[in-house]
Every structure is written in structure tokens, then in C-alpha cells.
Amino acid sequence: MSSSPDSKILIEKARSMSPALKCHNSREPQHMLQMVTNQRLTKGDTDRDVRHFELEDRRSAISYQVGDVLEILPSQNPSLVDDFIKRCNLDPDCYITVCGSAQVRTKDGDKVPKDPIKLKTFVALTMDVTSASPRRYFFEVMSYFATDEREKAKLQDYTSPEGRGDLYRYNQNENRTVLEF
């Protein structure tokens, strides 16, 4: 099977990707920041944890204007990311293409695939596997991968209106994370 020039470009671009990308596709983050202040703003007896952070760039002054946006990508423990991928029985080195519902289309109406990304990079940069509590949609997706019929039925029950209370007790009350699931 021959590959089109466009697919070759996509594959080559995917091979050159790294988790530490900055704007304009450089291989280095624009700034590595150090957190110098982490102050809780809410009282300790509340459910919310609102904090004031101060970050410092020791290499250079960062210039910004009103309306500028700062994107902070905290890193996750790589071994926990590996554990999550292994538990899902996936290949961390495979390349995936993530498509949103409002995907770009060509002038002929065909969907244009997004750039491929390594699965491990995607999980490390987009999923909080160590502290995020999985939501109903997570259980719905996981039900498609369940091989045991009882597990599949339970996962589907969690996503139904009738199973909402069970999901809350299983998930929220126990403070389960994606990795623990």
C-alpha cells in the first residue's frame, strides 16, 4: 500500500513531536518557571481549594500585556502515566489522531485528520491520571473495552440515570482517581 505525500508529512511530523513543545513547534518550552508562592485562599474547612500562585522565571523577564493568556502544563509522574497505559492494555509508543466534533473539513467536505501524537505524550499532557475523579463519560468509554460481561454491565449502569447514585458513592465518596479505576 502506498502512502500519499500528505500522510508522509503527517507521520514525519508526528515522529518529531515531544512532550515539551512551546508555541510555534519549537522543541523547548518557552519558559521553565519555579513556583515561589502557593497560598491557600479558602478556609481549611471548605470543600473548595482556591489558591494564589506566584511563578518566577529566573532566566529572563517575561513581558506581557493585559489580555495575554498563560498556559501552564504541569508534568505528571511518568511511571504513573506508564501504569495507566499498561492497565488499559495499550501501546504507549503508538500514534493516535484525536478528532473533535467540530473537526476541520476540506473543500470537498472530507474530514481533515489532526496531527498524530504519541499515545504516551497525549495521556501525559491531557489526562490527569493521578488526581482527577473520572466522570460518567469515562465509564461509558471504558464499558466499550470491558471484556467481562459483569464489568461491562456495571460500567453501563454507572452511566445510566438510575446508576447515578451508585456512581457517586463508588467514585466521589471514595475519591477514586482515573488510575485507581
Kind and range of the H or E run holding 39: strand 34-40
Question: Count of domains in the chain?
Answer: 1
Q: What is the DSSP letter of 111?
A: B
Q: What is the pLDDT of residue 17?
A: 45
CB atoms within 10 A of CB 134: 20
Q: What is the pLDDT of residue 136?
A: 85
Q: What is the pLDDT of residue 63?
A: 77
Q: What is the pLDDT of residue 110?
A: 58
Within a domain: 152: yes
Of the candidates 169, 92, 97, the one whose C-alpha atom is nearest the C-alpha of residue 124 is 92
pLDDT in tens, the chain (181 residues): 334 444 334 444 444 444 444 344 444 456 667 788 999 998 888 878 888 888 887 777 777 788 887 776 667 888 999 998 998 888 999 988 877 655 555 555 655 556 788 889 888 888 888 777 788 888 888 888 888 999 999 989 988 999 888 888 888 777 788 877 7
CA distance 127 to 81: 9
Within a domain: 158: yes
3-state secondary structure of 168: helix
Within a domain: 46: no
The number of angstroms, rounded, from the C-alpha of 96 to the middle of its chain's C-alpha atoms is 13
Q: What is the pLDDT of residue 61?
A: 72
Q: What is the pLDDT of residue 79?
A: 92
Of the candidates 118, 128, 144, 137, the one whose C-alpha atom is nearest the C-alpha of residue 18 is 118
Within a domain: 31: no
Enumerate long-range contacts of 32-35, CB under 8 Å, 24 or more apart: 32/57, 32/59, 33/57, 33/72, 34/58
Within a domain: 168: yes
Within a domain: 68: no
17 close to 8: Cβ distance less than 8 angstroms: no
Within a domain: 94: no
Within a domain: 150: yes
Amino acid found at 76: Q
Rounded (5°) CA angle 160-161-164: 85
Cell of 11: 507521520
Residue-range definition of the domain harbouring residue 179: 131-181
Amino acid found at 10: L
